[in-house]
Structure 1
Amino acid sequence: MEQVLKVFNQIYDFVWGPPLLILLVGTGAYLTLRLGLIQVLKLPLALKYLFSKEQEVNKAEGDVSSFAALCTALAATIGTGNIVGVATAIKIGGPGALFWMWLAAFFGMATKYSEGLLAVKYRIVDENGQMSGGPMYYIERGLGIKWLARIFAFFGICVACFGIGSFAQINSITQATNVAYHIPVWVSATIITILVALVTLNGIKTISKVAEIIVPFMAALYILGALIILIVNIRLLPGAVELVIKSAFTTTAAAGGFLGATVKQAIQNGVARGVFSNESGLGSAPIAAAAAKTNSCVRQGLISMTGTFIDTIIVCTMTGLVVIITNSWNLGLEGAAVTNYAFSTGLPGAAIGKFIVTIGLVFFAFTTIIGWNYYGERCTEYLFGVKGIKIYRLIFIVLIGIGAYIKLDLVWLIADIANALMAFPNLIGILGLSNVIISETKSYFSMNKELRANGN
């Protein structure tokens, strides 16, 4: 078993090494330049679109509202990465990892905009009358490379069934509730499996409705808890931000249980965990974006872009600063225990902090499960047609049921590798269709400018 783990670790180091990280950030940087800093100049408009209804939205093609589509995407991205991933990145890479997480998110917003735009432009209606879209469709219909689209869909199913979408999340839930409140693993696993079955068997409309309720509520509760800690410790905030920036370019000195981090570790962990958290460039979020009721691919691209802003610039930043201010990253703790300690010591009353982190982890992990269930379903439909959807859903539910009892060392490695392998075909698709992205963007804003000039 050790030899198998060693082989998969070597594969992981290769696929998540400099080539992929450079390609991910490089694609975002290239699109940022071509789109004229769209993530900065058009962010206010994107946030306005997020909270306003599109005119004649009922006549638009799609399965759910743009807001519901975004919540479904956020359901899959706001998860253990925001609570555990950020803490792990800072523990290994030092406070400077947060700076590189910001950088990855900044460029990732341009990538996420492009993914959302292409998802709507190249989507189709399947035999069940539901919208299907995402990288597999824009790679096939836009670039005409069907075999590459199939590769993406295959790895999408792998991640949904055997990794980030299932085993990792159910384990996070059962372990968190067992450690915090001594709830037996089998009890948590049974309850979550039943809830997942009730939600996912009814498809995207039920998934999006659940996501619309849970995601905003839990994100608000988690952010509120973090804000209280930051406000109470506001005098430490300037020093924490200074440490983040300084550590991004210098080796972090060893102290306490921390072994010290190099600049390389800060960059690798910050970029990798940032991308892992918001999934910009991995190709998962556009699958949800394709279901949105909209007549404009650019408008949906802008709304999709806000997902990275919310996930990383807001939620991950809150976690990172709380972890740094409370010094929990430097005590030799692991995983969720780092964030748990940060909130327990930072908030008045340890029980409140433990409750927010545990409940946040449970709900974020649950919404990640249902979000990734949908991604896997759309990939299954692409490869096998609508006849494969019911079989996929049943297999997914069974895997959730047994996932709590599977050791995650190898599973995490396989999931991480499959996740990285999703990114390669997706980024090829985005770069290959960059002229389409630029053309659609220019056309949309030129038309809007003309309408405003005519008083419409």
Structure 2
Amino acid sequence: MEALSNFVGWINGIVWGPLMLVLILGVGLFLQVGLKLMPILKIGKGFSLLWNGRTAHGDGQITPFQALMTSLSATIGTGNIAGVATAVFLGGPGALFWMWMTALVGMATKYAEAVCAVKYREQDELGNYVGGPMYYIKNGLGKGWYWLAPAFAGFGAIAAFGIGNTVQANGVADVLNTNFGIPEIGTGVVLMILTGGVVLGGISRIGAVAEKLVPLMAVSYILIGLLVLLLNAGELGNALSLVFTHAFTPSAAEGGFAGAAVWAAIRFGVARGVFSNEAGLGSAPIAHAAAETAGPVNQGLIAMLGTFIDTIIVCSITGLAIIASGAWTSGESGAALTSLAFETTLPGFGGYLIAISLSVFAFTTILGWSYYGEKCVEFFLGVKSLVPFRILWCIAVPLGATANLGFIWLLADTLNAMMAIPNLIALALLSPVVFKVTKEFFASGGATEPDQTPAE
């Protein structure tokens, strides 16, 4: 077992290493330049379409708004609380700057993913729309590239049970046991019941829950975070100065902080940024493919907001709270560091607020990833696999809550990164299509969309 763990650890060091980070940033930058910075310049139009997307505008199972909320349910999670803290702990304040840069190029990646997901989606035997990297590889690229489709679906199906299920349940059980003394098995059983009540109803029920729960949890966390920043307003200017300074110069050791080189700021900022907003990993377009949308570009403009909201807004609040409060030099890491920052500013209940936020974020991640996982499995086994998958998904929750997940976390984190490889290759190869439909859309004043007839 130790040999297997060491081998997977070696693979993990490669897939989350410099080459992968260059690939993710490179493809995102290529798409952003090819789109002439449209995702950044048209962010206002994206929010307008999101507001109008609360009702259906085409074929699909869920509204465009529900599609984004489902995707955000999976992306706004432990990465926004523990991931940001880990990046700052390992890379210093400058890591936050590189998270921002990852998000700016990631908006183009997420846009392209959703455009391809809607353009190349199919209808399954039940008449439901299915899409994502495995389908835009299958329907958009030649037969010579088909092998990338089952590679993505295979990585995604296995990674889902780790990163999207057992690891999340374990995190909730641990934080509730630490802060409130709730037994892990109790948390696991309650989580299983809540998860079953949602995921057994499929994407329609997931979307309906996500459109109510995700905005509530995100806005609540943002408001609490803004209160922490307001109470540390005197240090906010210095915090921003540290972010920009240490993005390009090494961070010296200070207090419990061991210091970090510029490369560490880049590496951990980019890696945790991608882990948090999932731009390039290929998960979010699976949800956007089910949207009742007027067309690919409309949904792409909405999808790119997920990266903006997740990283530019939510992660920024966490990162700045950690730095402005001075907690970043404490020597703590992960969720404990974020908890310390909030508890220092809001003594008596700040830590509890983080515990509750982490629990809700993790629960919604379990919901979102259940859909991603089932669509990856459906790609291989068809619709007959849906109900058995959902039952197995629910059973895995209490197992994750009570297990020691050291190896599972490592394997899931590795496969999560490996999902990005076939997806990024496909996005690069399909970029001419993305550029073409985008140009046609804006040339028509956004009044029409190119044909998006489902593939047979």
Q: TM-score, normalised by structure 2?
A: 0.96
Partner of residue 196, structure 1: 195
Alpha-carbon distance in 2 for matches of 1:432, 1:340: 43
**2:42 matches 1:50:** no
Residue type at the aligned position of 1:46:
G
Check whether the contact 2:173–2:402 (CA below 8 A) recurs between aligned residues: no
Partners of 1:336 and 1:208 lie apart in 2 by 28
CA distance in 2, matches of 1:418, 1:73: 19
Question: Is this contact kept in 2: 1:156–1:419, CA < 8 A?
Answer: yes
Q: Relative to structure 1, is the Cα distance of residues 295 and 317 closer, same or farther in structure 2, using a 3 angstrom cutoff? A: same
When residues 5 and 328 of structure 1 are mapped into structure 2, their CA distance, relative to the original with a 3 A threshold, is: farther
Structure 1 match to 2:36: 36
* Aligned equivalent of 1:415: 412
Q: How does 1:35-434 map to 2 (within 5 A)?
A: 35-53=35-53, 58=56, 60-144=58-142, 145-161=145-161, 163-347=162-346, 349-351=347-349, 353-434=350-431
For the residue of structure 2 that corresponds to 1:310, the secondary structure is: helix
CA contact (8 A) 1:158 1:415 kept: yes
State the Cα RMSD in Å: 1.3
- TM-score by structure 1 length? 0.96
CA change 1:4–1:33 in 2 (3 A) is: same
- More divergent stretch after superposition (406-415 vs 262-271): 406-415
Give deviations 1:293-320, integer Å, cap 9, x for gaps.
0121001000000000000000000000
The number of residue pairs the alignment matches comes to: 446
The match for 2:438 is 441
Cα distance, 1:143–1:338 mapped onto 2, change above 3 Å: same
Q: For residues 382-428 of structure 1, what are the alpha-carbon distances to aligned partners after superposition, in whole Å with 9 as ceiling and x for unaligned? A: 11110111121122111112111221221111011101110000001
- Give secondary structure in 1 for the equivalent of 2:402: coil
**What is the CA-CA distance between 1:82 and the residue it aligns to?**
0.2
- The CA deviation at 1:438 is 0.4
Give the superposition deviation at 1:59: 6.1
Q: Write out per-residue CA displacement over residues 80-107 of structure 1, whole angstroms, 9 at most, x where no aligned residue.
A: 0000000011001111110110000000
Q: CA deviation at 1:26?
A: 0.5
Distance 1:268 1:331 in 2: 22
Q: How far apart in 1 are the matches of 2:198 and 2:119? A: 28
Paired residues of 2:235 and 2:325 also in contact (CA < 8 A):
no
Letter of the 2:352 counterpart: F
How far 1:12 sits from its partner (Å)?
0.7
Q: Check the 8 A contact 1:221/1:356 in 2, yes or no.
A: no
Asked if the contact 2:56–2:64 (Cα under 8 Å) also holds between the matched residues in 1, the reply is: no
The whole-number CA distance in structure 2 between the counterparts of 1:446 and 1:17 is 40
Q: In 1, distance between residues paired with 2:205 and 2:351?
A: 30
**Cα–Cα, structure 1 residues 94 and 440, in superposed 2: closer, same or farther, change >3 Å?**
same
Q: Counterpart in 2 of 1:454? A: none
Shift of residue 181, structure 1, vs aligned partner: 0.6
Distance of 1:448 and 1:10 partners within structure 2: 50
Identity level (%): 49
For residue 367 of structure 2, what is the amino acid of its counterpart? Answer: I
For each residue in 1:89-142, what CA deviation from the matched residue of structure 2 results, as whole angstroms up to 9, or x when unmatched? 100111111011000000000000000111100111111121100000000100
- The 8 Å contact of residues 125 and 131 in structure 1, kept in 2 or not, is answered as yes
SS at match of 1:433: helix
SS of the residue 1:51 aligns to: helix
| SS of residue matched to 1:129 | coil
Name stretches of at least 5 consecutive residues in structure 1 with no aligned partner.
452-456
CA contact (8 A) 2:90 2:260 kept: yes
Q: CA deviation at 1:375?
A: 0.3
CA change 1:59–1:26 in 2 (3 A) is: closer
Aligned-pair CA distance for 1:355: 2.8
- 1:129/1:450 CA distance change after superposition, 3 Å: closer
Corresponding residue for residue 454 of structure 2:
none
CA-to-partner distance for each residue in 1:121-167, whole Å, 9 max, x for gaps? Answer: 01111111211000000001000332210110011101111x11111
